[in-house]
Structure 1
Amino acid sequence: MKLASLKEGRDGSLVVVSRDLQLACRADGIAATLQAALDNWDECERGLNAMYQRLNRGECAHAFAFDTAACAAPLPRAYQWADGSAYVSHIELVRKARGADMPPGFWTDPLMYQGMSDGFLGPCEPIELADEAWGIDFEGEIAVITGDVPMGTTEASALPHVRLLMLVNDVSLRNLVPAELAKGFGFFQSKPATSCSPVAVTPDELGQHWQNARLHLPLRVFLNNQLFGHPNAGVDMTFGFDRLIAHACLSRHLSAGTVIGSGTVSNRDESTGSCCIAERRTRELLNTGEASTPFMQFGDSVRMEMLDEQGRSIFGAIDQQLVRYKAAQLSR
C-alpha cells in the first residue's frame, strides 16, 4: 500500500494513495496522521489496506486527484532520524581522494549519525539555506520507517519491524563538515533539514525488488534537469536495512516512526553516475587531478525518483529548488 500526508497541521493528514499515484483518499476513521497509524499499526493496517484495494479498483467514493505539491513529508515530524552509511565503497572513494586509509572496521560495523527529525521537508518544498559558501550538496538515499523495535533486536529478526520505505534527499553542507568532525562530536550544523518523497510504501509493493533487506532498483537523480546519476540501490550496499536497524537498537529501543537512512546510494561502476556532488567531485579529482563540478547554487533544482520495470514512479518524485533563506524580521 502507498501512504502520504497532506500539508494540514504540523503532522499532516494521512491519505491512502493509489498504486499509479493518480488518486488519493483520506484515511478518515482509521488514523488522522501517519504517526497515529504507526503507533497502532496492528489495528490500522487492515483498514488502510482495505481502503487501498478499493481505491485501486475505483471503488473509493471520496477519492480525489493526488497532487504531490500538496504533500508534506510522509512523516513531517519523526521521533528519530538515524542515517547510516551503508555504501562503504562510497566512503572508501572519498577517503582515497584525500589520501586517508580505510579503517578495516568500516567494512564490519556501520557508520550512523542522528540527524534533524523535527521538520522533514515535503517533496516539492524549496531547500532554504543562507550561504552558497557552505558547499551545498544533495544526497539521494533510501529510508525505512519502523514500528516499535525492542532494544537488542538482532539482524535476523529486524526486518518484520519495517513498516514503510521512501526516498530521501539528505542535504549536506560539505564545507561545514571538516570543522565539525575535527571537534570529535559529529554532525550538526552541516546537516540541515532532510527532504522526503511524497509517498511511503509498504515492502510488499516492491515485490521481487525488495530482497536481502535491500531495494534493487536504480535511484535516478537529476541536477537542473540533467541526469546526474542512476546507481542501483541494491548493488554495493554493504549493510542491509536489517543490519542498520540492529545497529541502531543495540543500546536503545526505537519508537514507532523511527526513520533509518541508507546513506548516499553509490555503485563502484562509474558509468551509473552519482547521487551526490561530493562523489562526482571525488572521482574528478582522482581521474583528472581537479574537482570541476561546483556545489549547488541558488536557483539550482534537484529531482530524485525511482521507477519500476514498467517505468512507473513508485514513490513519486522529490523535486526541489535551492533558494536563499531570508531570516524573518522579529518584531520588537
Structure 2
Amino acid sequence: MKLATLIKDANGNSLGRDGQLVIVSRDLTRAQPVPEIAPTLQAALDNWQHMEPELQRRFTEFEQDPTAGETFDPKRCGAPLPRAYHWADGSAYLNHVALVRKARGAEMPPSFEQDPLIYQGGSDIMLGPTAPIIGDPRWGIDFEAEVVVITTDLDQGSTPDQCESAIALLTLVNDVSLRNLIPNELAKGFGFYQSKPASAFAPVVLTPDELAPHWQSAKLNLPLRVWLNDQPFGYPDAGVDMNFNFAQLLAHCCKTRALGAGTLLGSGTVSNKQQGLWGSSIVNGGVGYCCLAELRMYEAIEQGQPSTPFLGDGDRVRIEMTDQNGMSLFGTIEQQVVAIEAS
C-alpha cells in the first residue's frame, strides 16, 4: 500500500497544517482521499491495527480501477507527517560515522560498534519533497540521503522483534546538515540544534509488504540514488554495511522511554565501504556517496584538503529509490538551495 499527505488542493489552497491523507497508485500516477477511513496519516497511525486493513482494502480496490482518483502531483505533497510527535535519526552506517568524525578530527570510540548513535531532532515542521533548502552557504550546507521508518506505539523496553513488528511504513528523507556549525555545537557537550534544520521527506510512504523481497531483517536492500545538479552522485545499497538494523535502532530508543504512534526514525546517511577517493566515486566505478562530507573526507585524505564545496545558491539535490524494474518507489525528493546572508 502506498500513501501520501496532500497539503494543497488542485487550486493551490491549503488543506490544513496536517494535510489530507490519500492512497496512491503503485505507479505514482493517481491519488484518492479516504476521509471516511482517516482524514490524516497521524489519525490512521493512532489506530493502525484497525485502520491498516481498511486502507489496504481500499488500496486494492483503487489499484483494480484505473479510472479512479485524480492525478497525483508530488508538488502538492507535504511531508507524510507535516508535524510529527517524534523524529529521531540514527547513524547506522559506521563507515559514514568514521569518515565525518575524522573530518572534524574526532576518533570513533569502540563503543559505537555495539551502542547505536541516535539524536532527537525537531519535528514540529517537516518539509515536503520540493521545499527549498534555505541557508547561508557559510554554514556548510550538506544533504544526507536516508531511509526512514514510521512506527505504531511501542512500549518502553520493547525488544527488537517487537520493534520490527511496529514498523508500519517506510520512506526517504534528506536530513540536511550544516557542517560548519556542527563542531562548535558538539563542543558545548549538548548536541545538535542550529546545525540540524528541518528535514525534507519523499512524497510517498509504503507499507513493508510493498517492498518484498527487498525488506528483510529490518533492512531495505536496495540502492539509494542521489543526483547533484543533475549528475549522478551516489547509489550505495541501503542494506549493505548497515551495522544496526531498524529493529535494533528502535529497541535502543525504547530502552528508557515509550514511543508514540507516528514516530519517525532515520537510518542515518546511507554509506558503503569503498576504496578511497579514486575508487569510490561513480566516475571511478564506485557507488558514490549520499552526502558531500564523505567525498570531502576522501579528498582530504588523498589530496591533502577538500576540493568539493558544500552546497551553494541554486544547487539542486535529487534523492530517489527504484525497484528492480526501475519504477520509483517513494517518489523523489527534489530540492534547490536558496542562499541567504545570515547576520
Q: If the TM-score is normalised by the length of the shorter chain, which range does it land in?
A: over 0.9
TM-score, with length taken from structure 2: 0.92
- The answer to whether 1:300 aligns with 2:315 is yes
Q: CA deviation at 1:96?
A: 3.8
Q: CA deviation at 1:97?
A: 4.4
Q: How many Å separate the matches in 2 of 1:54 and 1:60?
A: 11
Q: CA deviation at 1:325?
A: 4.9
1:257 corresponds in structure 2 to: 262
Paired residue for 1:179, among 181, 184, 194?
184
Question: Which amino acid letter does the alignment assign opposite residue 4 of structure 2?
Answer: A
TM-score, with length taken from structure 1: 0.95
Q: Quick check: 1:300–1:322 contact (8 Å CA) kept in 2?
A: yes
Q: Quick check: 1:221–1:229 contact (8 Å CA) kept in 2?
A: yes
2:80 corresponds in structure 1 to: 74
2:336 corresponds in structure 1 to: 321
Q: Quick check: 1:144–1:260 contact (8 Å CA) kept in 2?
A: yes
Alignment size in residue pairs? 325
Q: Which 4+ runs in 1 deviate beyond 2 A?
A: 93-102, 324-327
Q: CA deviation at 1:128?
A: 1.8
Paired residue for 2:111, among 105, 110, 121?
105
Q: How many Å separate the matches in 2 of 1:204 and 1:102?
A: 36
Question: Which amino acid letter does the alignment assign opposite residue 5 of structure 2?
Answer: S
Q: CA deviation at 1:89?
A: 1.4
2:25 corresponds in structure 1 to: 18
Q: How many Å separate the matches in 1 of 2:232 and 2:42?
A: 34
Q: How many Å separate the matches in 2 of 1:273 and 1:230?
A: 6
Q: Quick check: 2:312–2:339 contact (8 Å CA) kept in 1?
A: no
What is the CA deviation profile of residues 244-271 of structure 1, one whole-angstrom value per residue up to 9, with x for unaligned ones?
Answer: 1001111111000000010000000221
Q: How many Å separate the matches in 1 of 2:182 and 2:96?
A: 16
1:124 corresponds in structure 2 to: 130
Gaps (5+ residues) in structure 1?
328-332
Paired residue for 2:63, among 44, 48, 56?
56
Q: How many Å separate the matches in 1 of 2:319 and 2:66?
A: 31
Q: How many Å separate the matches in 2 of 1:242 and 1:34?
A: 22
Q: CA deviation at 1:100?
A: 3.8
Distance 1:187 1:100, change over 3 A: closer
Q: CA deviation at 1:152?
A: 0.4
2:200 corresponds in structure 1 to: 195
Question: Which amino acid letter does the alignment assign opposite residue 231 of structure 2?
Answer: Q
Question: Which amino acid letter does the alignment assign opposite residue 72 of structure 2?
Answer: F
What is the CA deviation profile of residues 284-310 of structure 1, one whole-angstrom value per residue up to 9, with x for unaligned ones?
Answer: 111221211100001111000000000
Distance 1:38 1:302, change over 3 A: same
Q: How many Å separate the matches in 2 of 1:234 and 1:140?
A: 14
Q: Secondary structure at the match of 1:222?
A: strand
1:6 corresponds in structure 2 to: 6
1:155 corresponds in structure 2 to: 160
Q: CA deviation at 1:46?
A: 1.5
What is the CA deviation profile of residues 233-252 of structure 1, one whole-angstrom value per residue up to 9, with x for unaligned ones?
Answer: 00000000000100111111
Distance 1:91 1:80, change over 3 A: same
Gaps (5+ residues) in structure 2?
8-14, 275-279, 281-285
Paired residue for 2:229, among 212, 224, 233?
224
Report which stretch shifted further, 317-326 or 115-124: 317-326
Q: Quick check: 1:54–1:60 contact (8 Å CA) kept in 2?
A: no
